């Protein structure tokens, strides 16, 4: 959800910066469908790279998490989960790839829906402006 919301806010900010370009496309006579397809493709590129990099970084961190924690403990000269205090002295991590797939599918669909909404909102707003002026 955090990843999807950050991508959505980035896309909304990009759309607000691209209003000038959208107005130029309207002035050149492009249809709403073309503008919608261009910016949907733009958001698809963003979400694809975000999913690839985010998933690969997350899987790398989860596979080497125990070593990372050991290095941090050595650097800080302290033990986070002492066996004297806690029942277990490690953080159990199990990667379930079907859950990762479902989460990625949910994030992808959420970003597509929200970016489509923001694109349609901006196109509708600009088409009304062009009709009124």
Mean pLDDT of the chain: 79
The Cβ-side half-sphere exposure at 69, using a 13 Å CA radius, reads: 14
Do 58 and 50 meet the contact criterion of CB atoms below 8 Å apart?
A: no
Q: How many CB atoms neighbour CB 132 within 10 A?
A: 6
- Cα 132 to its chain centre, rounded Å, is 36
Does position 11 have pLDDT exceeding 80, yes or no?
Answer: no
- Cα 120 to its chain centre, rounded Å, is 20
**What pLDDT does residue 98 have?**
93
On whether the pTM is more than 0.75, the answer is no
Give the C-alpha separation, 112 to 120, whole Å.
12
Give the C-alpha separation, 81 to 114, whole Å.
41
Does position 133 have pLDDT exceeding 60, yes or no?
Answer: no
Question: CA distances (Å), 27 to each of 11, 14, 119, in order?
Answer: 23, 20, 18
**Structural domain boundaries in the chain:** 1-30, 32-130
């Amino acid at each position: 959800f955090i990843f999807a919301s950050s991508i959505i806010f980035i896309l909304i900010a990009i759309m607000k910066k691209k209003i000038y370009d959208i107005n130029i496309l309207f002035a050149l006579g492009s249809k709403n469908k073309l503008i919608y397809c261009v910016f949907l493709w733009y958001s698809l590129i963003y979400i694809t790279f975000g999913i690839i990099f985010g998933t690969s970084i997350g899987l790398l961190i989860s596979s080497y998490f125990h070593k990372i924690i050991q290095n941090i403990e050595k650097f800080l000269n302290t033990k986070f989960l002492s066996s004297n205090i806690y029942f277990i002295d490690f953080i159990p991590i199990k990667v379930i790839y079907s859950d990762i797939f479902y989460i990625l599918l949910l994030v992808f669909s959420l970003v597509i829906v929200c970016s489509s909404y923001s694109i349609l909102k901006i196109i509708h707003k600009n088409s009304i402006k062009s009709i009124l002026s």
